[in-house]
Chains A and B, each alone.
Chain A
Amino acid sequence: MNLPADLKYSKTHEWVRAEADGTLSVGITDHAQEMLGDIVFVEPPEVGRKLAAGAECAVVESVKAAADIYAPVSGEVVAVNAALADAPQSINQDAYGAWIFRLKPGNAEEIGSLLDAAAYARVVEAAEK
């Protein structure tokens, strides 16, 4: 399983990367993109929207399914990856490069409650049993 050690993960298959400017990039894991199949559309959240942790905020649509993306932590949406509008398949090609949106976290402590790579791997393995 491709799970970079420098990222945090959620049980709902989002990854989170702490950026140098204090924002958090959010995308979906390599495992999630593999389960969805060819991704054809991403509906990002609106910039400026304030999200509670766990709030539905985006949709990733593949040829066979549509999956909701949840805010891993609370915060305000400060950017969305506009490149995904024309190239949603980049999530399939590079799940950890293709961030979907960036959050300014509302509560820095919440990040600590996210999973590390090993814990997320256990979540995925448990689900596959």
Chain B
Amino acid sequence: MPFIPHTEVDVRGMLASIGVADIEALFDEIPRELRIQGLSGVPAAAPEMAVLRLMAERAEADGRYLNFIGAGAYEHHIPAAVWQIATRGEFYSAYTPYQAEASQGTLQALYEFQTMMASLTALDVSNASLYDGASALAEAVLMSVRLHKGAHRVLVPRTVHPLYRNVVRTITRNQHVEIIELDYSHESGTTRIETAAAIEGDIAALVVPQPNFFGVLEDAEALAGWAHSRGALAIGVVNPLSLALLRPPGEWGADIAVGEGQPLGAPLSGGGPYFGFMCAREALVRQMPGRIVGRTTDSEGRPGFCLTLQPREQHIRRAKATSNICTNQSLMAIAAAIHLSLLGPQGLERAAAQCHANTLALRDRLAAIPGVAPAFTGAVFHEAAIRLPMPAAPVLERLRSERILGGFDLSRHYPELGNALLVCATETKTEADLERYALALERALGERR
């Protein structure tokens, strides 16, 4: 079936049968002044040859940088087979089909994805993915408020990704949710839960980032325990790759775990498409947003797959649905399932361990440079904050001129940390890469002294 099923003849026929002159007339009730007449900055159609040339030039301008930025999106090796398989015609759609039972293969792939995520997080159920990590957190916050029936306050440590916090605020602002931020120790880089003791009254949930935005490991079990002692849910925000090494959220007490799925097979590609994931304890499943694929048997007893628990969703429950998330990032989730299958548990563990080792080596090498020191004492997974003797911005600019992306400048979101830089060295980096970075940083700092 072609993607656009209506020919001009079809369209004219339909308009004629409802007695409308043209498609524009269907939008008459929207006042002219509210309608966008054209998008500024979007040029008219160009020939394919010109577009290809333009894109090639743009790609070249992007350059070939040695990348040490993490901060929520991570450069990982993706086996070539992942996207060879994921882009097969049978999978190549962003959507879970509404006529789901007609595409058993897609459903099975998503079911396998859910099984893998549930097993990585050690929680009972997973949905079939969400848009991205930030909106997944917002959905988890809303879910916790629905579940609590009484509390509308959610505690979000400042060690949660600053952009995730922005998205949570944006999505929850008009939904009677109060977000209270918690401060962190400037020494260890971990959440100071004791600052929450003064908060009186009911709390729906505490968000527990593991590792947190600084790459530092929180005392997740203690934080989850604190949440439960206050009758609140614990929402883990986790890096899925880290789960190959760290205790999974289901074991340290998270009731819901969400995160950004990009490290599992999605290329950085300028910020997306990525996907969010969400897992939870089974008792909470009816408040879980998004699609869930279930395994079932047909009338002849044969195994099959179907979308399940759909009355939670907006096409049935309308305004009272658990969420207005009506689709997911199906293709990215399927790619993640393929990625995980190809790596296997040992491969995933090796990749995670190599990231951890590389980041520690980089942090130690950089800390040997006069004036540079680790910003926090807390243990890290695959990202570390370092303190520079001068503002990070000009240093990063200097590094860029040597084709190195030197890290994420923390001063924009955490001015109280001074000249702090967040660096990340994944398994894609070699010893020579780390040395190249260290030497370039030495030069950049040396010039300024």
Contact = CB atoms under 8 A, between A and B. Distances in A.
Interface of A: 41, 43, 46, 61-66, 68
Kindly list the 4 A-B residue pairs having the minimum CB-CB distance in the complex, ordered from nearest. A66-B311, A61-B311, A66-B317, A65-B316
A49 to B, nearest CB: 10
Contacts of B149: 46
A66 B309 CA distance: 10
Contacts of A43: 286
A66 to B, nearest CB: 4
Contacts of B320: 66, 68
A61 B316 CA distance: 10
Interface in B258-317: 286, 311-312, 316-317
A62 B286 contact: no
A64 B286 contact: no
A80 to B, nearest CB: 14
Contacts of B312: 66
Most A C-beta atoms less than 10 A away, residue of B311, B312, B317, B320: B311
A61 B312 CA distance: 9
A85 B286 CA distance: 13
B152 to A, nearest CB: 16
B358 to A, nearest CB: 48
Contacts of B317: 66
Interface of B: 149, 286, 311-312, 316-317, 320
Contacts of A62: 311
A66 B286 contact: no
A64 B149 CA distance: 26
B145 to A, nearest CB: 15
Nearest to B313: A66
A41 B283 CA distance: 13
B215 to A, nearest CB: 41
A45 B311 CA distance: 18
Nearest to A60: B311
Contacts of A68: 320
B286 A65 contact: no
Given A66-B312, A68-B320, 5 more contacts: A43-B286, A63-B311, A64-B316, A65-B311, A66-B317
Contacts of A65: 311, 316
Nearest to B318: A66
17 contacts: A41-B286, A41-B311, A43-B286, A46-B149, A61-B311, A62-B311, A63-B311, A64-B311, A64-B316, A65-B311, A65-B316, A66-B311, A66-B312, A66-B316, A66-B317, A66-B320, A68-B320
B76 to A, nearest CB: 40
A62 B316 CA distance: 11
Contacts of A63: 311
Contacts of B311: 41, 61-66
A41 B308 CA distance: 13
Most B C-beta atoms less than 10 A away, residue of A64, A66, A68: A66
A68 B320 CA distance: 10
Contacts of A61: 311
A41 B149 CA distance: 18
Contacts of A46: 149
A60 B110 CA distance: 28
A62 B312 CA distance: 11
A43 B149 CA distance: 13
B140 to A, nearest CB: 20
Nearest to B312: A66
A43 to B, nearest CB: 7
B402 to A, nearest CB: 59
A68 B321 CA distance: 12
B294 to A, nearest CB: 11
A65 B312 CA distance: 9
B204 to A, nearest CB: 16
A84 to B, nearest CB: 14
A35 to B, nearest CB: 14
A101 to B, nearest CB: 15
Nearest to B149: A46
Nearest to A61: B311
